[in-house]
């Protein structure tokens, strides 16, 4: 099975310093919906793994998050794509959970649920924590320059073997080309 893990904010949709808190603030990035559609049509399974500490901070609730994800699913479906699952961590860093990236808890859960090997498993993200979560299990870290990506790239210290792309569309094109 070909499976790719995507971070959400800054990869699929615009990120905000004050958190994406509702459907009006959930705005897809240029060509991100098309990128997911291309992956789907090329036989890839697409899973989202996203830290959503806004829940733990009380900035929005699960109903607002579900509405955002419903919008994401609808727009991606209309573009001809599919998200197979969305894994979230609702905790703040102070909760010390195992599911919050950069820890690989969500990655382990995804691999178990979809019965895929961790080695070489690609994860596309815009922050160091995304890259660290997949690198910790022997997966393939892929950084996009959208969202926090430029800042992440400039800060350096990326995991060995990190691939860098301008956006999700370019990263998806690379995966599809094999």
| pLDDT of res. 1 | 94
| pLDDT of res. 3 | 98
Q: What are the C-alpha distances in Å from 40 to residues 103, 126, 159?
A: 27, 21, 27
Write down the residue that tokens 């979809």 correspond to.
114
Q: What is the total residue count of the chain?
A: 178
| pLDDT of res. 25 | 98
- How big, in percent rounded to 5, are the helix, strand and coil portions of the chain? 40, 20, 45
- What sign for the dihedral angle of Cα 109, 113, 119, 123? negative
- The model carries a pTM of 0.97
| pLDDT of res. 131 | 98
User: Which residues are designated catalytic?
Assistant: 7, 9
Q: What are the C-alpha distances in Å from 23 to residues 20, 60, 89, 108, 133?
A: 8, 11, 19, 29, 27
Separation of alpha carbons 64 and 20, rounded Å:
10
| pLDDT of res. 177 | 97
Mean pLDDT by 10 residues, the chain (178 residues): 98 97 98 98 98 96 98 98 98 95 98 98 98 98 98 97 98 97
């Amino acid at each position: 099975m070909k499976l790719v893990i995507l971070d959400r904010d800054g990869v699929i949709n615009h990120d905000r310093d004050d958190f994406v808190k509702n459907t009006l603030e959930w705005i897809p990035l240029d060509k991100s919906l098309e990128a997911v559609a291309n992956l789907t049509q090329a036989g890839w399974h697409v899973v989202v793994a996203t830290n959503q500490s806004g829940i733990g901070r009380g900035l929005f609730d699960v109903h607002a998050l579900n509405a955002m994800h419903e919008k994401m699913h609808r727009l991606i479906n209309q573009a001809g794509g599919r998200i197979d699952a969305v894994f979230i961590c609702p905790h703040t860093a102070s909760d010390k959970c195992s599911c919050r990236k950069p820890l690989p808890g969500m990655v382990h859960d995804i691999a178990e649920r979809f019965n895929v090997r961790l080695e070489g498993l690609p994860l596309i993200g815009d922050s160091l924590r995304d890259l660290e979560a997949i690198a910790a299990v022997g997966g393939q870290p892929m950084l996009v320059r959208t969202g926090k990506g430029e800042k992440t790239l400039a800060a350096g210290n990326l995991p060995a073997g990190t691939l860098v792309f301008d956006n999700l569309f370019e990263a998806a094109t690379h995966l599809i080309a094999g």
